[in-house]
Structure 1
Amino acid sequence: MASVSFKYWNDCVDPEDLDAMWMEPDVRAEWIDVGETMGSKVHLSRDPDGQPYLTQTEMRAVAGIIVRRHFVSQIDSDMLCAIAELESDRQPLATSYNKKSEDVKMGIMQISPRTSEWLTRELGYSAYQVAEDPKFLYKPFLNVYLAAAYLKWISNYDQKERSEEFMVRAYKGSIKKATHKSTLPYWRKYLSVKESLPSRKAFGVGSAPNVPSSSATAVSQSKEASPVNATWDSRTSGEDMEDMWNHPDVNKEWTKSGERRGNVRLSHDAEKHPYLSRVELRAVAEIILAKHSNIKGVKPTVLCAVSEMVSMRFVNGVGQRTGLMGIDYPTARWLYKDGGYKGYMVQSTEDLTKPFVSMYFGAAYMAWLSQYEGRERSLQFVVQAYLSGPQNVNLQETGPLWMKFEEALSRYEETRRENGSCVIM
């Protein structure tokens, strides 16, 4: 591992990632100021010992790009930047060795090969290729991507939404030590470092999205400002797009907003997070249930109401939940391999940010829950089990989750009556 040497950014990033760095205004200004030119190799900064490091501007850009592409509204880019400061001083070639666990940690975010393999193979985080050679972990974009994936997993550990403090302390000392006194000093340092970080506003990455407007018709007009894959066509098969165009309510909405076949824009909120209008969401649910007869006992309005709750209709998901229906990769893979739900392939976590894929596996999971442990289950059980896990259902308590679901459901039932649509079971 000592043989690895990075002199230029070009040595440790893919060309498209280097292009993305040049597109960041603060990075471009910083690089041009020190004499770098686009199209030529870009030098990495060096500390007094000759070790390469990322400037705070560069680190903020890498974190922002990774979050925008893969973890919008799920991971805070400032969290990644603060952890990078503490773990490695932003040095891509940083390496540490734990004698007790015999674990090697590598790169800016100090990711171990063991963690990398688990995230890639078991949780489906494969946007970046991880070769057999662990030296790949020294690459900044790959390293930060895997760190964000690990933090996202921690954020929903044991199916419970975890606090920022739990996430940071677990990242440092493992889940077992997330509340142990040994990780408390790290948390305090993290807060201090995060407070001193430059503003991330230049990179347009927030920690939480705005709720979409109820009219759900505002579409971003700026192609440059839109996130990666910000069109329907880039996340949907040709067959499913044809079904969407053939849906009368969708056709009417898209035609009215000037959409054209082959390049249908997704709606975006004020922070440019893509989301579905209620008309689009309902159409996806109806198409899925009409085409896949093995998904029984689920109504499209129920799917839509659950989507409102878990993702607020955001295509990438919200918080720890991925995609429209908040289905994670292990659950989708299990439904595909063992449950016989093979209507869509799911080969990575990225696939679950595709509206039809997420809706399909959300519907499949709901159908499975409706027969949990071989018994016919009530809608209240299914909804509670979907949101909190089947082992945590308490039908004696009509809690806020169920009331929130009923409120969301009423919106779709009212909309359906207004449009005169038929119910597809």
Structure 2
Amino acid sequence: MVSFKYWDDCVDPEDLEAMWQQPAVRKEWIDVGETQGQKVHLSRDPEGQPYLTQQRCGFATRFLLLIYLMVLFQAVAEIVTSRHFDTHIDPEMICTIAELESNRQPLAEQHDKKSKVTTVGIMQISPATAESMAKEYQISLYKIEGDPDILYRPFVNVYFGATYLKWLSNFENKVRTEEFMVRAYKGGTKKATHKSTLPYWKRYISVKETFTPRCRKHSNGPTTQAPTSTALDSSNSGCSPLIYLRRKNSSANAYKNHSTTVKRNKVGKLRQPLRFLSQSFPEDMREMWNNPEICNEWNKSNQKRGKVLFTLDSEKNPCLSRLELKAVAEIIVNNYFSTMGIKPTALCALAEMVSMRNVDGTEERTGLMGIDYSTAFRLYTEVGFRDYPIDYEEDLTKPFVSMYFGAAYFAWLSMYEGSERDLQFVIQAYISGPENVNPEGICPEWAKFEQTLAGFEFRERNGGRCNVM
């Protein structure tokens, strides 16, 4: 198995020197104790795990590593495109595809059982594609034949990924659009206009927004600046790789998606199937049925496996009972957030406040947990919460998906700007936005949360007994 301990193991000396010349990279490396002229470590976390391999780690560690990796990879993309592709390949495109394909992991590897094709590295290039590009352009810079492991080297992988994009840009001697190139990169030229690659293109557009225009090559050299904080909003100054989850100056009470059109019915609500199963994954429903309280409740109301219906509120909108809400929260926390100190009852109280347990959400907020699409999508693409797919805004009207991303946002806020935050901060920030938290002032949201939480904890202390509504 391919592994690297130092940057020096996977890049040529001139490439490493070029990395040191990047201001943002230089600052990051110096800040973690690296010295120019000595080997640069790929490992810096407490457990000695490589930065550039996929691993399970704590939320705070993963968050900081993602910022670190973004700085380094942007530098690699800029160096490769400026050296070999002039203005033909945009480094933003490289960065975005790498984000989608491998989460910027040089040692990533995927095997497609159907096509029996293995793709590797940051850009997820197959050895066959690399060899084809080498023959097409008579590339002698890197020798692929007989040494497929060379594709794990970041500069090599990016070079062949960019070469493939260049080839796609003039496929069949026609100038191709960015959309064609991206969709063909994902599914091949035959699926560049097929519906199967459309979600990938939509994700690409959203992720690309995080790489600001000043990431592009400048005639006077790179102007990339190192991040100074991990704020939610991007200042758009320099090319700060900040992870931001909501657009600048967005209203705290108006979570809106600006990139997805959602079909709505006559009263303005999201169209929503009434069956629980149609909005859940089979394994989640199995866990629900395995919950004795849920099983008892559903049997009493004559629900059948595969045909569980949502409860309807007074306005005939689908919603969860408090018992169902508690079960969903427990499943999500136990499966994905058990080490992060999040209490299921806290998520239940938030759902009660922001949506009244309504599956569609409200006019202002989407879904059970009131998470807007742009927030959920950035948690998925930038912070690494990828246990549930999030292709469309409608996905957030699925109870388990909404609960998952609500918990992810809760976890993110608990380490806002790199500092551990108390529950009062997290709740205020969740509801009103972290920039609007006023810990010294009167906060009606916090008082309401305490009251709502007390109700859920009282039911928990009394054996979980509660009314269906």
- Normalised by the length of structure 2, the TM-score is 0.43
Bigger Rg, structure 1 or 2 = 2
TM-score (norm 1): 0.48
